[in-house]
Amino acid sequence: MKLEEKILSVAKETISIEAKAIANLGNLLSGEFAQAVQCIYNSKGRVIITGIGKSAIIAGKIVATLNSTGTPAIFMHAADAIHGDLGTILKDDVVICISKSGDTPEIKVLVPLIKNFNNKIIAITGNKDSFLGQQSDFVLNAYVEKEACPNNLAPTTSTTAQLVLGDALAVCLLDLRGFSSNDFARYHPGGALGKKLYLRVSDITSQNLQPRVSPETNVRDVIVEISEKMLGVTAVIENEKIIGIITDGDIRRMLRNNEAFIHLTARDIMSKNPKTINQDAMAVDALDMLEEFKISQLIANDGEKYAGVVHIHNLIREGII
């Protein structure tokens, strides 16, 4: 077998082993999972997630997921907890302990200390009969038949199972809280993802010039307006209502079809019933319209009034595309 074929074979086997284990997690879910979700949901405190080794890394990711979806969470390393960080846990907090074996020395020391504070403990473990499993209020079964590691030693499948159970917890809590895309945007204001969730058409049009002409504006002045406002388009406005649009393309077609054009007006060359979008719409909705109609600009409106122009370059600049 060639080296490339061997590498791909090992990769596919790894994915297959982990996929089967994750698919089996659904069969391991019990009423305790639902009770654990309700315990967190009804808690007045935060979720403290702890673990050791690779499980600690998974704990950190679950903390990030919970925080970003409306459930306050804090990571507490199991080793640090028994050397002073136990003060992280407050009265109403729920503690999630993650451990494949459930019998690591740090967990055996930590769990009784948490129980002394009367905090609820949720275990994510691959061994329900372990010390952690026996001492916890709720046990989420993360059992896997084997690790993807050929020596069945390196945490691979087991940590993936822990991660998936954490995601399942977070999504169930998200659903119970009715956590919407608007809520999500408040927690993700930065980057392209945030902008897709909060950037509105008005945020873009307010930065652009507002090209406009009347229906009787002569073609020369139309060309000047389009050039000066640098958006490749102008709205045609009559009685403060949008009645048409003239684009660079309309100008080119006019030049091609008319040897003499000085007598023409905006009304003669405009496209009627232009595609418009309300200024309160999301910028990502403007992108959808631009893509659907294969155009580069949209006229924004405020009711029947003209509010400006959204250009595809605006969306590229904002990182929406």
Nearest-angstrom CA–CA distance, 43 and 92: 7
pLDDT at 270 over 90: yes
Nearest-angstrom CA–CA distance, 40 and 14: 34
Q: What is the pLDDT of residue 192?
A: 57
> Which range among 66-70, 93-97, 131-135 shows the weakest confidence by mean pLDDT?
66-70
Q: What confidence category does residue 180 fall into, taking pLDDT thresholds of 50, 70 and 90?
A: confident
Residue 169: what residue type? L
Nearest-angstrom CA–CA distance, 74 and 177: 19
Closest CA to 206 of 279, 104, 118, 114: 279
Query: Do 244 and 270 touch, CB atoms closer than 8 A?
Result: yes
Query: Do 28 and 141 touch, CB atoms closer than 8 A?
Result: yes
Q: Which residues are annotated as a binding site?
A: 77
Nearest-angstrom CA–CA distance, 138 and 37: 10
CB-neighbour burial class of residue 122 (10 A; exposed 0-12, middle 13-18, buried 19+): buried
pLDDT at 186 over 80: no
Nearest-angstrom CA–CA distance, 131 and 103: 6
Q: What is the pLDDT of residue 189?
A: 59
Distances (CA, A) of 28 to 16, 129, 133: 19, 14, 14
Q: Which residues are annotated as a binding site for Zn(2+)?
A: 77
Q: What is the pLDDT of residue 191?
A: 59
> Which range among 53-57, 82-86, 189-193, 246-250 shows the weakest confidence by mean pLDDT?
189-193
Distances (CA, A) of 264 to 180, 248, 255, 296, 316: 51, 16, 11, 25, 35
Q: Quickly tell me which residue has 């009685």 as its tokens.
A: 239
Could you give the domains of the chain? 3-179 (3.40.50.10490), 198-317 (3.10.580.10)
99 forms beta bridges with 125
Q: What confidence category does residue 42 fall into, taking pLDDT thresholds of 50, 70 and 90?
A: very high
